[in-house]
Structure 1
Amino acid sequence: MAGRMMDQAAVEKPKRKRKYRPVTNDGQRKLFTTWLPFDMPDKLRELVQERQYLTNDKSITISGLVTEAIDDLLAKYNKA
């Protein structure tokens, strides 16, 4: 029985640790995090891939698109 328990322990995947980075590589502070609907990350990845393909610009990122959307919202409500 002990052998079986050891086999199960060997098969179980180690828990993945989340890596929180309060400061980005370019020194900007991370102000907040948010939970997205389950399918949103996939939609954002697809949008980035589509924009990169259409514009032939590999520097387009999810964070860049989110920043652009926030800037548009702030401009819409005259908070910029």
Structure 2
Amino acid sequence: MGDRWHVEVDRSVCIGSAQCVHHAPDGFRLDTGRQSHPADPETDANESVLAAAESCPVEAIVITLLGSGEPVFPPEE
């Protein structure tokens, strides 16, 4: 069984660039205020969600391992 992730979007940082929706259309949605949110905050680990987080121009997306809370993105320094 693969890793499961918890995905969050810091809506105080999100600028609505929609890069997350472009990279992971099944993983993110924009609301009427053009703020991003995960389609499902608990998801199987997948490259498109990681690419979405990496492409966010303001690093508003945080991914952690479900259960342990270990950071996936952004990586610990």
TM bucket, shorter chain: under 0.3
| Higher relative contact order (Cα pairs below 8 Å, separated by 6+ residues) | 2
From the two aligned structures, give the one with the greater strand fraction.
Answer: 2
For the pair shown, which has the larger CA radius of gyration, 1 or 2?
Answer: 1
Higher helix proportion (structure 1 or 2) = 1
